[in-house]
Structure 1
Amino acid sequence: MRGVQGTIDEIGLPLASTTFVVVDLETTGGSPRSAEITEFGAVKVCGGETLGEFSTLVRPTVPIPPFIAVLTGITDAMLADAPRVTSALPSFLEFARGSVLVAHNAPFDIGFLRAACDQLGIAWPKFQVLDTARLARRVLARDEAHNCKLSTLAALFRARTMPTHRALDDARATVDVLHGLLERLGNVGVHTVEELSLWQSTVTPAQRAKRHLAERVASAPGVYVFADTDGRALYVGKSKNMRARVRTYFTASETRTRMTEMVAIASSITGIECATNLEAEVRELRLIAERKPRYNRRSRFPERGSWLKLTIEPFPRLSLVRQVRDDGAAYLGPFSSKRSAEATMTALHEAIPIRQCTQRLSPSKPTSPCILAEMGRCGAPCSGAETVDEYAAHADAVRTAFTGDPSTVVRRLRRRIDDLAERQRYEDAASHRDRLSAFVRTAMRCQRIAALAAVRQLVAARRLEMGGWEIHVIRHGRLAAAGTSPPGADPRPYVSSLVATAETVGSPPPPLPAGTSEEAECVLRWLETPGVRLVEVDGCWSYPAPSAAAYADIVAASETDHMNAQPFTDRRGLRPTG
């Protein structure tokens, strides 16, 4: 299998092999805005062993206040020959480089370190920080420690060095406190830095009580399903490391209200291992569509997508439908919303004088034309002003825009947009631009998916970083099989085996893929990943030239304009309180 460098959320940093630098500072006061550092003390540890220590006094630019001298024992005389922070701070940062910083009451020490960096013009290295005081408040019961002062915790964990308000002694004491806390947390399944960091924050009792459910899930790529006591799916997700991902639902990193509610209801978690990340992504989509878990917001109802259909009749028209039939008609979609479909239909009606009435028309029974004919937006085939052959040119233009070159639509709408802009009707121009963008976006997507769906079988492979290959068999846009070959082995027998055992997939009516459009898009993203090689193609996988993709700049410009118009959209989902 391929070795993947994931994020901390996915794989975590094992505590046993993580280097911690436990730091403590002495200062001339309590605020970095008015006080300065007088002493650094730090201990570097890994796997319970001390790797090194760093200690230095620092000569401030202000005298030591008397009460600070009494508290720490550090006097002005002691600091007379000490280095300035300009040399002490870079030395400490070099000592701590590449480690996780640990401090007791970390906001105090980290605040002074960051202020000193700002003062000296040094970029803060953005250390990951753990706070033993905050961690202790989450781990220890009230009857174990009446407070979380360093002296109290050092006594509880029988530290070898007791705190003395000197930096190195306090750092040594904090090391023993850290190790004591880690030992406690290891018993409840906290084994990575990511989990340790998250444990510092507030976690609901329901989350903690059900943390054990994550231990039943494998540390492998795949799909996980939260279910209630009746076995009904509550939520479906995917991950490169299922156990690491599932654990985060039981920590404070999960801030979504609906997920906290879901965890409280869940009684089991089932993990389904997958051979590749693409298989996991596809299986997630299929499970969501099949089981419709109520806490998943996306992909639950792929069957609700709508399509624009160019009808089959003497005078074809555009119709908004829910289903693609094998009837020889041209289709465009799917649209995620009725609003987007209607915007695209309006764009086509503005560019091409195809009729907008809904009744069936007969060349032998002319009727009176509507006002659109008077406005020049329809050739009035209803009245006999256009013959079937003359009207067919409009239908052909729509069909070509659906399946190939949309330049006619783009050119005419751009001309209209430019005209409106010249007349300073900017809002109308923006509305036309948005409708054109909706059309181009959908045409691009539809043409990409239709091209893949037309291929009877496509076998592709990509070399894994650790050796071997990941192999996928795709039939009519649907993932039919997924697997890997081991490092050093000839992949061809594995390809043959996958093809022989792959799912049988029937040919769908164009432009539909055999699976959902979302699944086809997942497959396309993988196929376009650098390093993917086509092993076998049964059919012709090609995009029309020219195609809607030639006008991708229209979509990008529209999206940029919308972002610039609302650069800080409020997405908090505010609810009324009254």
Structure 2
Amino acid sequence: MTKPGAGGQLAFDELGTPLRATTFVVFDLETTGVSDEDTITEFGAVKVRGGEVLGEFATLVDPGRGIPPEIVALTGITDAMVYTAPRLDAVLPAFMEFISGAVLVAHNAGFDTNFVRKACERHGYRWPKPAVVCTVQLARRVLTREEAPSCRLSALAALLGASTTPNHRALMDARATVDVFHSLLERVGSLGVQTLEELHDYIPDVTPEQRRKRTMAAHLPSTPGVYLFRGPGEEVLYVGTASDLRRRVRQYFTASETRRRLREMVALAVRVDHVECAHSLEAQVRELRLLSAHKPAYNRRSKNPKQAWWLTLTDEPFPRLSLVRTPRGGALGPFRSRGLAEDAMVALQDATGIRPCTVRIPAQRAGATPCALAELHRCQAPCAGRQTTDEYAPSVSSFVSLVAGRLLDPLHVLERRLRAHAAAERFEQAGVDRDRLSVLVRALDRGQRLAALAAVPELIAARPDGNHGWEFAVVRYGRLASAGVARRGVPPMPVVDALAAAAETVVPGEGPLRGAPAEEVALVLRWLDRQGTRMVRCSQPWTEPARAAASWRGWLTRADAARSMEVTSG
């Protein structure tokens, strides 16, 4: 095997699928027109591999409507010809079976593949998203304008000496496209294009930087992990995860990568580092930590970090709710946006009686003029001495108990108010109340579940790896402390013991998540929630509060359904 850097060449097993071993289905359609309302009147397809024809597929299709005269003049397909032909729903399964596992090739492939994809959608078939090669794009890349002023199929067939003359009938056009395709492959083969991946490299929108730097993926293993593109100053430009590191990174140097900012990143990159991971959870967690540590310029999260918002009580005689980034104990969250947190804050103020004003009030105060919110009956005016700290305390206790999962009374208060507005036909206000209550219930449910996991000193879980082995995760205070696998035939418990012994020491911090990042705890929780996960060991019971917001999930489902109906009817 040639080593990376030796002449810049890679061995075939490093590059991908050899063209000589790739099965192609070259196909063409005839249709009633070119709009979304038009349908297929004829299929023609030729299956080839290594230059040999493996089979053909051809049939007329009854479109269920009249064929326009201009289409009849172009293709020669008349209503009488398709009268006894099968309908599309009968033809489509056979065609999908014929193309199964193959790379599709068509002249102006976007048109033909779009018709087949939409036909699959209409008739309930899954579109397999096959690799596609367009002979128009390939011809424009290979042939000069002087050599091929036109890339119409008839012009290319004549130029390249095709044995079949296209005539706007599907099978004949597909056979002509086979000859054109093989002629184009011979030309690119002399330029060193020997694999399907390299063939995709040669379509017009692949930059020279992408082609030149494809050897940067040569040293990567085909295992799960995290990859880091580094710039000329050793700075981290981009961080990503992959189930197959080599395959994923190689895509950045092919036509499949179309994002402008990442093409710019590839042009700057000088090296790709990687960290192998035991499984997907470890890769996702490592990605989060690397993004936080390096803040790469080309990751969108670096520009728009997913910093959560929390609702917490201020430290004063008459506490109020405050939006913070770093939560203290008893905080509610996390919220994905400030707007959602503000909606929950308004709902809580209405439900608990916590004052909405932002004035700092001393323990003793009398004679002051109450604020406008008191006039609107949204505040008991402690700012004017109309409420003592003892009288105010139940409002604070109500919030604390709700977040801790000790009572659900504030939610019932909000639901009764919502129903009252609906009964009075104040539907707009009822909708606002419903949406705010939904935000509050979701935040409570998520926060209580995350906090419950973060409270466990150590939890070890296992998941099947899909090949009769096991994936393991050692979780401490909501953070991933260690990860590993026991492949098929390997005794699992010694692996578990070794992972626990080598796991990271996690010192719990402050706040509802014991100092763990909300995103990491959420990743771990999703992994644990997946079907098939088993608990191996737990240092203490992993439990949720008896009166957690989880009991309101049924209400949330009904609220979401009502909102969807409003959107649809609107």
* 8 A contact 2:418–2:434 mirrored in 1: yes
Separation in 2 of the partners of 1:96 and 1:443? 52
Render the CA deviation track for 1:93-145: whole Å, top value 9, x for unaligned: 37735244433344677799899x89xx9888857454323323234455775
- Which residue does the alignment assign to 2:4? none
Q: Mapping of 1:187-198 within 5 angstroms?
A: 187=192, 190-191=195-196
Task: Determine if contact 1:137/1:148 at 8 Å carries over to the other structure.
Answer: yes
Instruction: State which drifts further: 555-564 or 308-317.
Output: 555-564
What is residue 350 of structure 1 aligned with on the other side? Answer: 350
Once the 2 structures are TM-superposed, how far is the Cα of residue 45 of structure 1 from its aligned partner?
2.2
Q: Which amino acid aligns with 2:541?
A: C
**1:520-574, CA deviations, whole angstroms, 9 ceiling, x for partnerless residues?**
00000000001100001012311112211222355556666666666799xxxxx
Alignment partner for residue 268 of structure 1, among 255, 268, 271?
271
- Equivalences for 1:142-541 in 2 at 5 Å? 142=145, 148=151, 161=163, 163=165, 171-172=174-175, 174-179=177-182, 181=184, 184=188, 187=192, 190-191=195-196, 202-298=205-301, 304-311=307-314, 315-325=318-328, 329-355=329-355, 356-359=357-360, 361-362=362-363, 368=368, 370-371=370-371, 377-379=378-380, 388-405=389-406, 407-541=408-542
Q: 1:503: how far off?
A: 0.8
- Aligned partner of 1:21 in structure 2 is 25
1:34-85, Cα deviation, whole Å (9 max, x unpaired): 9997x9764322355432345689999999x9xx99x99x999xxx999964
RMSD of aligned residue pairs (Cα, Å): 4.8
| Aligned residues of 1:17 and 1:47 also touching (Cα < 8 A) | yes
What SS does structure 2 have at the residue aligned with 1:330?
Answer: coil
Aligned residue in 2 for 1:576: none
Whether the 8 Å contact between 2:454 and 2:516 is mirrored in structure 1 is no
If the length of structure 2 is used for normalisation, what is the TM-score? 0.77
Distance change in 2, residues 1:542/1:522 (3 Å): same
Q: Which stretches in structure 2 are left out of the alignment for 5+ residues? A: 1-14
In the alignment, the residues of structure 2 paired with residue 304 and residue 442 of structure 1 have an alpha-carbon distance, to the nearest angstrom, of 15
**Mean Cα displacement is larger for which, 166-175 or 394-403?**
166-175
Tell me the alpha carbon deviations over residues 340-369 of structure 1, each in whole angstroms, 9 at most, x when there is no partner.
333322221111123445425336x66647
Seen in structure 2, the aligned counterparts of structure 1 residues 173 and 468 have a Cα distance that, compared at 3 Å, is same
Q: Work out the number of aligned pairs and report it.
A: 540
In structure 1, the partner of 2:136 is: 133
Per-residue deviation, 1:403? 1.5
Structure 2 CA distance for partners of 1:232 and 1:406, relative to 1, 3 Å: farther
Identify the residue that residue 93 of structure 1 maps to in structure 2. 95
Q: CA–CA distance in 2 between the matches of 1:381 and 1:87?
A: 76
Native 8 Å contact 2:220 2:245 kept in 1: yes
Q: SS of the residue aligned with 1:531?
A: coil
Alpha-carbon spacing, 1:220–1:35, altered in 2? closer, same or farther (3 Å): closer
Which TM-score applies when normalising by structure 1? Answer: 0.76
CA 1:522–1:567: 2 relative to 1, 3 Å:
farther
Contact residue 61 and residue 87 of structure 2 kept, 8 A: no
Question: In 2, are the aligned partners of 1:54 and 1:95 still within 8 Å (CA)?
Answer: no
Greater shift, 407-416 or 207-216, is seen at: 207-216
- The answer to whether the 8 Å contact 1:368/1:383 transfers is yes
User: What percent of counterpart residues are identical?
Assistant: 46
State which drifts further: 552-561 or 465-474: 552-561
Aligned equivalents of 2:110 and 2:418: distance in 1? 55
Cα distance, 1:156–1:547 mapped onto 2, change above 3 Å: same
Contact 1:332 1:402 in 2 (8 A): yes
The separation in 1 between residues aligned to 2:309 and 2:543, in whole angstroms, is 25
Determine helix, strand or coil for the equivalent of 2:221: coil
1:333 aligned counterpart, secondary structure: strand
Whole-Å separation in 2 of the counterparts to 1:374 and 1:109: 68
Q: Is the Cα–Cα contact under 8 Å of residues 452 and 541 in structure 1 kept in the other structure?
A: yes
2:8 is matched with which residue? Answer: none
Q: 1:461 to 1:292 in 2, by over 3 A?
A: same
Q: Quick one: distance in 2 between partners of 1:35 and 1:398? A: 60
**Cα deviation, residue 442, structure 1:** 1.8
Cα distance change, pair 491–149 in 1 and its aligned pair in 2 (3 A): same
Contact persistence 2:223–2:276 (CA under 8 A): yes
- Alpha-carbon separation, structure 2, partners of 1:568 and 1:261: 44
Separation (CA, whole Å) in 1 of partners of 2:193 and 2:451? 51
Contact 2:31 2:38 in 1 (8 A): no
Per-residue displacement from partner, 1:158-199 (whole Å, max 9, x unpaired)? Answer: 87x45475876764554354345557379458535xx86786
CA distance, structure 1, for counterparts of residue 247 and residue 45 of structure 2: 31
Deviation at 1:448, TM superposition (A): 1.0
Equivalent AA in structure 2 for residue 20 of structure 1:
F
Distance 2:538 2:306 in 1: 29
Task: Say whether the 8 Å CA contact 2:200–2:255 is kept in structure 1.
Answer: no
How far the C-alpha of 1:26 sits from its partner, in A, is 8.7
8 Å Cα contact 1:440-1:554 kept in structure 2: no
Distance between the aligned counterparts of 1:33 and 1:512, measured in 2?
Answer: 54
- How much has 1:205 moved relative to structure 2? 4.5
Q: Distance in 1 between matches of 2:77 and 2:439?
A: 72
What is the correspondence of 1:105-120 to structure 2 with a 5 Å cutoff? 105-106=108-109
Is the alpha carbon distance of 1:338 and 1:262 closer, same or farther for their aligned partners in structure 2, counting shifts above 3 Å?
same
1:280 to partner: Cα distance: 0.9
Q: Cα distance, 1:212 vs. partner?
A: 4.2
Aligned partner of residue 298 in structure 1, secondary structure = helix
Kindly indicate whether structure 1 or structure 2 has the higher relative contact order, using CA contacts under 8 Å at least 6 residues apart.
1
Q: CA deviation at 1:229?
A: 2.0
